[in-house]
Structure 1
Amino acid sequence: MKIKSAIKSVAISIPQKYCDNNTPPFSEIPNVPKNWERLWGIKGRYMIDAALGESCSVLAKDASLKAIDKAGLAVKDIDLIIATSCTITGWSDKNPERIFPGLSDYLKTELQCSNATMTLEVNQTCISFMVALQIASDYVEAGMYKNVLVCSSETFTILADFRSSSSTLFGDGSGAVVVGQSENKGSMLAAYYKSIPMHNEIATLQWRPPLGNTNKEEIRPYFTLEENGPALMQTFVPQNVPVVALKAIERANLSLEDIDHFVFHQPSPLLLKMWAMGIGIKSDKYTNTVEKYSCLSSASTPLTLYTALKNGKISPNNTIVIAGASIGWGFGAQVWNIENINF
């Protein structure tokens, strides 16, 4: 009998400190356009505090332990860890300048997994969690691994240039799931992906000094959004998520009416509305977390899955679509039958 995969659990870890747009350092950003908050629709975000011992890796460990526990497993049961993070530099709580080894290796060490546990890093920016889910599902169904931990952790506030309006777009947080063998019908039914290899300059992580500063001693990685970036995004990002979502539903031999809920990556409320309109669904068919949490890049998707479950938007035996876009630009969508996700 063919092995099927299922999302067994999901958990999140969020910093203690909450900052709305009127809280420093966000209230002190110079030259923020008057319509910036209305355009992006982001009202606040959670932000790590190093003085409290918070870091990208600490959040990742916390979310992972919760997900393993919710799945009814012990750490020794995990045989593959897949980690995703755009916080390439600064993810480590012990050495903030460490880049390699990656977050998955950190988790294996800190969780005290067995030597047989394999580790893997995925970086497809905002859809990294979705790509990791695909890999986890494929490995489980191939019989290579039985219990896969997927953890996405992001602390974009340490990559924020607080002289740039773009620093208001991101927050910090971590989400993790355990993917294992399905006992009933829970599985990924279909997926569809596409890539548009253009406009790579719109949104990047650049090594540079802060805006308005030419001091080479202050060069470090900063998230950088080009001035005309939002306008260029509108020419292709709103259209392509509906394309991949509808293609995935078609590949699953389902209709739009068969889908109970959509879990989108969370770049802005405006894009969520445009994706929903392009697909042909109303606001009650998807969950919005970006207004409160801002964009968490790869961690937005597990956070939104968790929130939808907590709010009763997703129940056992539901069929859902997970979809989103990433800078670069990649687009993807998956159709899942939900067995029972513990949260």
Structure 2
Amino acid sequence: MGNINAIITGVAGYVPDYVLNNEELSRMVDTNDEWIVTRTGIKERRLLTEEGLGTSYMARKAAKLLMKKTGADPDSIDALLVATTTPDYIHPSTASIVLGKLGLKNAFAFDFAAACCGFMYALDVACNMIQSGRHKRIIVIGADKMSAITDYQDRATCPLFGDGAGAVMVEATEEENIGLIDSFHRTDGKGLPFLHVKAGGSVCPSSHYSVDHRMHYTYQEGRFVFRYAVTAMGDDCEELLKRNNLTIDDIDHIIPHQANLRIIEAVAKRIGAPMEKVLVNIQHYGNTSAACMPLVLWDFEKDLKKGDKIIFTGFGAGFVNGASYLKWAYDGASAATVK
């Protein structure tokens, strides 16, 4: 038996039908299309507006399509991980709800909270679970209903966020030089004052006061977060390249967290990457937090070829940041036709 590595064997996604474009948003808050596009690159975002539906609904939709595309037997799934910062409930886990809806009988499930780096971190954990030899097939989902924690009276933050879910199948392989190769992840721990939701947790439980003072929405000091994100993501990519004796010319695709087009452009410039290598869909979805990276994979699956060298990089509340390097395991053109 050779060395076991972990590969992505399929990808799927789901975004809600309702499109909130900049024109409509400008009727809700003092903003306009030019202001939003100039500062963020976002033209529209998808919102889950149906009453009684949360993150698990979108995660389940993405996972069902994933299982259809890969033809995976539900009984063969060993684990299901959901990266989210907007769980359906404090407890139980959103992952347990998704597992139940999918009818997985032989899997265990848990949520993974690492804000906008959630999917990248969860993918790393799943790959290590595979490499241990104890698991063979794991579903990793990044899903967030950011509209649930977005203040649509705050012109600085409400244009940024959207809802969605993306899912990947992670499986074991003995094929050499393929799959996840390396990760460089870091947590600063000093980011609390600059990016957080003030109320709803154990420090500040929900109350009439917290609701009346709009404390259940995302608060962000945008300029500070922007600068920190560019530096952290750029440095992480450079460290990963150095550790693996690579240059940016060796990389086929860069998949950054879709927080802000200006951040993405600044990171690309910092590491010397042409924008042609950077995969971007923020104009359509906005920042979907943990769903961003798998939604990029879903949108660009048709362009991914076996052996392509890919770098993921992200930054989020905490502060959390990092980069991962993998070699893509299959030609995506045929798989991308299944919807």
TM-score by length of 2: 0.89
Structure 2 counterparts to residues 90-239 of structure 1, below 5 A: 91=88, 98-114=89-105, 116-165=106-155, 166-182=157-173, 184-185=175-176, 186-207=178-199, 216=209, 218-219=211-212, 222-226=216-220, 229-239=221-231
Structure 2 counterparts to residues 295-310 of structure 1, below 5 A: 295-310=287-302
Give the 3 Å change call, closer, same or farther, for CA 264–31 of structure 1 in structure 2.
closer
Deviates more, 1:267-276 or 1:235-244: 235-244
Q: Partner of 2:80 in structure 1?
A: 81
Task: Give aligned-pair identity as a percent.
Answer: 21
Deviations 1:77-123 (A, max 9, x none): 111111111113xx2xxxxxx32111111111111111x31112110
Letter in 1 for 2:138: V
Deviation at 1:33, TM superposition (A): 11
Measure the CA separation in 2 of the matches of 1:315 and 1:249: 20
Measure the CA separation in 2 of the matches of 1:326 and 1:181: 29
Q: Partner of 2:14 in structure 1?
A: 13
Measure the CA separation in 1 of the matches of 2:315 and 2:301: 22
- Among 301, 308, 321, the residue aligned to 1:318: 308
Letter in 1 for 2:120: M
Q: Partner of 2:66 in structure 1?
A: 67
Contact 1:40 1:269 in 2 (8 A): yes
RMSD (Å), alpha carbons? 2.2
Deviation at 1:177, TM superposition (A): 0.5
Q: Partner of 2:204 in structure 1?
A: none
Letter in 2 for 1:184: E
Deviations 1:294-320 (A, max 9, x none): 00000001001222223x2x2111111
Contact 2:23 2:32 in 1 (8 A): no
Q: 1:44 and 2:34 equivalent? A: no
Contact 1:12 1:175 in 2 (8 A): yes
Contact 1:191 1:332 in 2 (8 A): yes
Deviation at 1:16, TM superposition (A): 0.6
Give the gaps of 5 or more residues in structure 2.
201-206
Give the gaps of 5 or more residues in structure 1.
92-97, 209-213
Q: 1:258 and 2:250 equivalent? A: yes
Deviations 1:188-246 (A, max 9, x none): 111111222323211211228xxxxx9638457633334xx122123321111111112
Letter in 2 for 1:9: G
Measure the CA separation in 2 of the matches of 1:257 and 1:125: 30
Deviation at 1:278, TM superposition (A): 0.8
Letter in 2 for 1:303: L
Give the 3 Å change call, closer, same or farther, for CA 27–138 of structure 1 in structure 2.
same
TM-score by length of 1: 0.88
Deviation at 1:54, TM superposition (A): 4.7
